[in-house]
Each structure stands twice: as C-alpha cells, then as structure tokens.
Homo-oligomer: A and B are copies of this chain.
Amino acid sequence: MLASLGLPAQDAATVGRLMAEADLQGSDGHGVIRLGPYARRIRAGGMNLHPDIRIVSERAGMALLDGDNGMGHLVMKRAAEIAIEKARNTGIAWVGSRLSNHAGPASLYARMPMAANMIGLYFAVGNANHLPAWGGLDMLLSTNPIAAAVPAGSEPPIVLDMATTVAAYGKVKAKAQRGEPMPVGWMVDRQGQPMTDPNKREEGFLLPIGGYKGYGLSLVVGLLAGTLNGAAMGSEVIDFNADFETTTNTGQAICAIDLDAFGDVDAFKARVDQLSRELRASERMPGVDRILLPGEQSHERREQYARDGIPLPASLLRDLDAMAAEAGVAPLGAR
C-alpha cells in the first residue's frame, strides 16, 4: 500500500516493517491502524515522499536531522542509527529531528540501541495539543511521550513507553466507541471538574500525570524534542487528525548510552536481572495476581504474536481491504 501511495520501494518496506513491529508488540494504536491517516496525508500533499533527510548540525556526540517532511519512521530510524554509531565512540549520543512526522510508538526507537548493548531514550512532541498549562484552558501541550529501553540478561528488557498524560487521547476515543464512561482523573472540563463522558471530550482536557508535575514533564519533553530542534512546540503544533495538508514539523529526540563505557556489560545486565526478579517477587497487595515490569506485557505479546500472528479487529481488516481494493493491492483478507 505504501509503495502504491508513491513511496520508493525501500522506504515503503522500512515503514511497513516498523508499522508491523508496532502491532507486533501490541502498540496497536500506532501500527497498521495509521495507514489510513498516513494515506490521507500523503494524498493531500502533506508529506514528502522523496525527502532529503540530512544532518544540519553535528558534533562528535550529537546530530540534528532535518527530516524534510518525510515519514517519521524513516527519519527516526536514521536518527537511531546515527546515535548508535556516535555512542560507540563517545559513550553517549543524542540525535534530534525537525521536519519529521509521526513515527509510531515511542518504544520502537528507544528499543533500537539495545541490540548494540546500549540504553535507548526517546522523547517526542505529540501531533495534537490536548493539554493546557496547569490551571490554564488553552491547549498548548501534547501528550509528549517518553520512552526508555534498558537491556537485561536472561530477563526481558525493561522498556517504558508512556504519555505524560494520565490517559492517551486514543483511549478516550476507544471508551466513546465502546459506550463506556471514563474513570475520574482522565479528563476535566473547562471548570476543572472531572469529566467522565468520553463523548464530551471536545469540551475538556486530558489531565497530566501527577498534576502540575506531569505538566512540567510534558513541557520539558517538548523543549528537548521540539524547541531545541527548531520543531513545532506550543501553538505551532497542528492537529494532525484535523489538518492533513500543513507540514507538522514534528520534533523527536533519541539518546543512546553505551553500557560498555560504564563497565562490564554482562555485569550490568546481571544487575538488571536481579532488580527485575526482586521487584517481581515482591509481596503483593490483595487482589494483585502479578507484579509487572515496564515492557513485560509488550515483550510477551511480541513473542506470542510472532508465533501465532497478529490479531487485527474485523473492522480494521475491512477498512484495510477496502483501501487495498481501491489501490489495486492484494487484500489481507484474501491471503
């Protein structure tokens, strides 16, 4: 489908693989479900199919990438590769992007340095503002996510992937689709009162985690991933679910930390294993079946789906097959 939309074959394959990998780890809000919106943006001329992704500024431990409005997956894969390569020499490297686009789940890129025995950190400016300043009403901040991936030994890696809001906006929409109320604490209305009806979401705001702390965290992530790189932040962020033509100027940042620079890699991994085990073996609160480490459920889904295939909801499958039929591409249902 991506090739039929005009992406060069190799870029289409890269983006397709990364989208599938999002679904493989259960990040289904950031996987193949995005094909429709991506296609719409491409057809509206809102994304550059032949970007000249280039380094505009560089030092031994950093680079700033201009994504030339190409697909975010291509920009961030390149960013991760550069960060890993530089961190081999300097011990740590940071690569920021501007003029990038939505790139899928944050953990996809934070995970990349792990194969090189590095810790990966990832920060991004979200593509729609749903969060005001603490005490404010103007939506000037996004769910700006943070991801961190820490290699382990025999235990699964520890992979955190979180929005800086209590709930992601997609979860609110899912509640509306299922006709369920939201828990108190996800959103408030313009009077600051709890909002539980997901159908009224346009009249309210997402709440940041820990109140003013999450506001500060979202802002700092935006400064690191957006403002530092000359990418959109604050009122410059467009709502990419409403506007398919304007360049998003998405900013992201990836940081790779080489374990080998700090000491023996296996000893580090053994310490992570031990910590994972002691957390998991913790005495549990009544009613709690299992203590989970960040990324553990994704890790299990990754193994299960790789073995059994990735389940797609029937409605999504129908939408994809309809898109395929329109583009003259073999449908998934027919396979």
* CB proximity of A250 to chain B, nearest CB, Å: 16
Residues of B within 8 A of A263 (CB): 57, 64, 230
A282 touches B140 (CB 8 A): yes
- Tell which of A21-29, A207-215, A306-314 binds the partner: A207-215
Contact of A133 among B90, B213, B291 (CB under 8 A): B291
Contact between A228 and B119, CB atoms less than 8 A apart: yes
Contact B89 A92 (CB under 8 A): no
Copies of the chain in the assembly: 2
A271 touches B227 (CB 8 A): yes
In the complex, what distance in Å separates the CA atom of A150 from the CA atom of B143? Answer: 20
Q: Of residues 132 to 155 in A, which have CB atoms within 8 Å of B's CB atoms?
A: 132-138, 140, 146, 148, 150
Check if A285 sits within 8 Å of B191, measured CB to CB: yes
Q: Is the interface of A mostly helix, strand, loop or mixed?
A: mixed
Please indicate the chain B residues that have their CB under 8 angstroms from the CB of A290 in the complex. Answer: 135
B228 touches A158 (CB 8 A): no
Docked pose: A284 CA to B136 CA in angstroms:
4
* A237-271 to B contact mask, C-beta < 8 Å, 1/0: 00000000000000000010111011100001001
CA distance A214 to B220 in the complex (A): 16
Q: Does A272 contact B (CB under 8 A)?
A: yes
Q: Which residues of chain B are within 8 angstroms of A234 by Cβ–Cβ distance?
A: 274-275, 278-279
Contact status of A233 and B275, CB under 8 A, knowing A133-B291, A148-B220, A257-B94: yes
CA distance A210 to B212 in the complex (A): 12
5 smallest A-B Cβ distances: which pairs?
A209-B210, A61-B90, A59-B91, A62-B91, A136-B282
